[in-house]
Amino acid sequence: MSLSVRRVPRHLVALAAAAVAVTGCSVTASGPAHGAPEPEISGIPVLADSADLALPLDAYEATPEERELLVKAQQVLTTRCMDRLGFDYQPPPQSGAAKAAPNSRIYGVTDPETAARYGYRSPEETKSLATRGKREPVSKAEETALFGAPDLRPDELPKSQQEAERQSGHGGVPVGGCTRESFLKLYAPDPESVDVLYVFQLKSEAETRARTDSRIKRVNATWSACMAKSGYQAKEPMKAAEELGFTDAELAEPQAITAATVDVACKKKTNLVGTYYAVQSAYQRRLVEEHAETLNLARQQLRDRLRLAASLTS
């Protein structure tokens, strides 16, 4: 997560794909805070690394361990659905790579040892690329059972499990397939379910608002000047690799490692992590106050979801 360009976590990419056309509570950049004065901060802590940081909205999201449990539970639901349709389905194996702290890359690379070894590529992504296996091809019938009819439009997909149970897919296949069914049973059992990406959207809104904050602009300029002293021309810390011209394939190459090492040193020298954390936290606290009712509902639904997931995987 960054204040300018965010590399969306893999688990949220998967949820976004599954959540297509799921209605519920959503959020846009509006409300009292939009155009309001910059929030006050009591002070800026001196921070070099972001791995151990917790922001206000983190309290409303699943932890990495809880997300792993939810993935397993959804696999159980998908497998049960496929079995009901007569398929011996084997879900893809989960990565055995160690899970990173949720905010370890929230402000890009900040740990000098990680930068010296992996450059701008995250260690988890590196391990995932090394261990990723190939899946056996599936038949057309199995693909339809998993994902539904290929000509389905997003607006035709059920938006909750209650709605899905009132519909009937072709040949007994749930509308949207078993993948859709497992998602709805876990994340949208009824029309009152809060959008699974609601907190993520609020975090994005906080980042958008913080991006133009004068304190962020100042620390970005100071960081940029520090980078220039070492011969690197970059203005946005969260876009450093892109601005320096590194492709995805080059993020862990020697030149990228050298640049990332300088990047981390400049972040420490300018206290960029401390400034970003203080400012972003202030914007998130403001949004927590604005959306307290829905956030509390989302947190309660997360607890219910985790209890269901535990019962499915025990």
Of 6-10, 212-216, 234-238, the least confident: 6-10
Residue 100: predicted pLDDT: 72
Residue 102: predicted pLDDT: 87
Per-residue pLDDT tens over the stretch 12-49: 545 655 554 444 444 444 444 456 899 999 999 999 99
Is pLDDT larger for residue 184 or for residue 12? 184
Residue 2 has pLDDT above 50, yes or no: no
Residue 252: predicted pLDDT: 97
Where does residue 82 rank: exposed (0-12), middle (13-18), buried (19+ CB within 10 A)?
buried
* ∠ Cα 216 237 111 (to 5°): 110
Per-residue pLDDT tens over the stretch 185-220: 999 999 999 999 999 999 999 999 999 999 999 999
Residue 191: predicted pLDDT: 94
Residue 25: predicted pLDDT: 47
Following DSSP, what letter does each residue of 236-287 receive, concatenated? -GGGHHHHTT--GGGTTSHHHHHHHHHHHHHHHHHTHHHHHHHHHHHHHHHH
Per-residue pLDDT tens over the stretch 89-141: 999 887 655 567 889 999 999 999 999 999 999 987 766 555 555 566 678 99
Chain mean pLDDT for the chain: 87
Residue 35: predicted pLDDT: 64
Residue 77's alpha-carbon distances to 33, 203, 230, 312, in angstroms, are 40, 29, 53, 8
Q: How does residue 169 score in pLDDT terms, banded at 50, 70 and 90?
A: low
